[in-house]
Amino acid sequence: MAYTGQMRWAPDARGRLQGAALDLFSEQGYAATTVPQITARAGLTTRTFFRHFADKREVIFGGDEIPERAARMIAAAPAELAHMEVIRLVLHRVAQEQFEGHHEQTAEIRTLIHANDSLRDRDARKRDDMVRAVRAAFIERGEPPLTATVVAELGILVFQVSLDEWAADPDAPPMTAVIDAVMHRLGDLSLSLRPSAAEPLG
């Protein structure tokens, strides 16, 4: 299936590499696919692959703008909103704009990631990157560092759990609904952290 013709100056080299990689990963698995295989299918050379992606995993994770967008949304959120309501607002918008309507593709990528330790590594660090970005945004809002840390961790916790729950269920409700469900469960659990709260535990 490798192109023998002159693809060198065909447009969208990066996109061709991503397409070829995703195809091969689903055909043979991630580990069994080599970079030369990918570039052969895309009609490019190995060296060019590493000009577009820092390493083999980035062909899946590359071009993620969620941290920046989330930070901007937090900065633009009404000042009077409670911490976790800012989180809810941002997550809803990210869900709608980035994921809703791409359920199948998202599920495929999540499956791929969960099947390979090297990709799980990278996915877990991406989560950490998101936490850092959100934390910085809340500090920018004037929150004390520990509060910003915990809010950011909580927000990304909700995001990650919701994303995997949503992606794993073929008949899942809209991702915004999953987010709300996770946040509600979080509220239940946190009750026992506040002995002052006078509600009995379920």
Chain contacts with DNA (rule: CB under 7 A): 7-9, 13, 33-36, 39, 43-48, 50-52, 54-57
Piece of the chain touching a second copy by CB under 8 A; list 14-22, 41-49, 71-79, 115-123: 115-123
Of 75 and 124, the one with the shorter C-beta distance to a second copy is 124
Please name the residues in contact with 19: beta carbons below 8 A apart, sequence gap of 6 or more: 42
The distance from CA 49 to its chain's CA centroid, rounded to whole angstroms, is: 23
Shortest reach from residue 183's CB to DNA, in Å:
37
For residues 126 and 119, the answer to whether their CB atoms sit within 8 Å is no
Shortest reach from residue 123's CB to a second copy, in Å:
8
For residues 141 and 73, the answer to whether their CB atoms sit within 8 Å is no
Of 8 and 120, the one with the shorter C-beta distance to DNA is 8
Alpha-carbon gap, residue 78 to 92, rounded angstroms? 15
Q: How far apart are the first and last CA of the chain?
A: 59
Cα angle: 107, vertex 110, 116; to 5 degrees: 140
Of residues 119-158, those binding a second copy (CB under 8 A):
120-122, 124-125, 127-128, 146-147, 149-151, 153-154, 157
Of 24 and 151, the one with the shorter C-beta distance to DNA is 24
Please report whether residue 177 would count as binding a second copy according to CB under 8 A.
no
